[in-house]
Structure 1
Amino acid sequence: MKKAITCLLLAAGLTGHLSAQIPVQSQSDKNSGKVIRMDKQMFLDNIFDYTSGSTDWKYKGEKPAVIDFYATWCGPCRMVAPLLKSLAKEYQDQIIVYKVDTDKQKELSADMGIQSLPTIIFIPKTGQPQIIVGAANKATFRKAIEEVLLKE
């Protein structure tokens, strides 16, 4: 299952989620500009429900997303955290930034095939997700956001 989900993330095209006609405040609107802690249920609700048996990747988000898989004991993860927090604020109206504590969300991390930390997944509304494994500088993350998430 891990490899299947990872393959879906890396190789499948994403399709946008049609939002409801009635305007409601979404999770991303309430937390605009903040990094949101994500658990398995939130992933299933907001990103992709891989438990449904569907092998067809369908991104559920309204905005492109960045997901940081990290651990509190991980030095490179601690270096990346303030960069992602700053970028979440900088791009608050354009993207949503999540973080997943791999020690607390072992099942989700295993299901996603996370083997190295930090692992940052960039999920555009359409197109293929991209992954950065390991720490990177702010310019690298900004380039990934501009070229992967905001490229139309």
Structure 2
Amino acid sequence: MKNFISLVFAPAAIAAGLSFSTAATAGPASGESGAAQEPGKVTVLTEAQYKSTVEDFSTEEWKYLGNMPAVVDFYADWCGPCRQMGPVLEEIAKEYAGKIVVYKVNVDDAQALSRSYGIRSIPAFLLIPTEGEPQMAVGSMPKTEFKKRIEAALLK
């Protein structure tokens, strides 16, 4: 398991106005190559796409492959708190378009990747700066709290 600075958050109370939408704004790109990141959109990645777009999780050394800070949401379709965070991630992707990229990885479809990062609770968010070590945040949280974490970890 990779060593990261962990930030663990208890699941937050349901924020007013959050819907339980499961729709992702972008589906996985076809093929095994990296997924095209559309600015202001959330991109769903397969394990193979993650490996070529974000980081080769099969190695012990951390090496981010992107050129902008990123948020990776580890989620499952059946997870209520994950569904609560879906619209928040879509808003974050729009608000920070051109500054960060936002990805989603389904833990049920990407079990080797999830094990590599020690994902045991979802939603789990990997906050990846362009330089340095990523941080992990776990649990549903209000948008304001999530934005604070992004600002502190990725846009300092």
Output the TM-score relative to the length of structure 1: 0.78
Amino acid aligned to 2:52: D
Q: Find runs of 4+ consecutive structure 1 residues off by over 2 angstroms.
A: none
Q: Which residue of 1 aligns with 2:148?
A: 143
Secondary structure, in 3 states, of the residue corresponding to 2:62? coil
Percent of matched pairs sharing the same residue: 42
**2:94 alignment partner, SS class:** helix
Report the Cα distance in structure 2 between the residues aligned to 1:84 and 1:98, rounded to whole angstroms: 9
Q: Give the number of aligned pairs.
A: 128
Residue of structure 2 in register with 1:98 after alignment: 103
More helix, by proportion: 1
- Identify unmatched segments of 5+ residues in structure 2: 7-34
Q: What stretches of structure 1 of length at least 5 have no aligned partner?
A: 12-25
| Counterpart check, 1:45 vs 2:52 | yes
Aligned residues: CA RMSD: 1.7
Q: Does the CA-based 8 Å contact 2:57-2:113 persist in structure 1? A: no
Corresponding position: 1:35 with 2:42: yes
How do 1:1-150 and structure 2 match up within 5 A?
Answer: 3=1, 5=2, 7=3, 9-10=4-5, 27-28=36-37, 31-51=38-58, 53=59, 55-150=60-155
Describe the SS at the equivalent of 2:144.
helix
Q: Give me the whole-angstrom Cα distance separating, in 2, the residues matched to 1:150 and 1:93.
A: 12
How much has 1:10 moved relative to structure 2? Answer: 3.5
- Amino acid of the structure 2 residue aligned with 1:27: A
TM-score by length of 2: 0.76
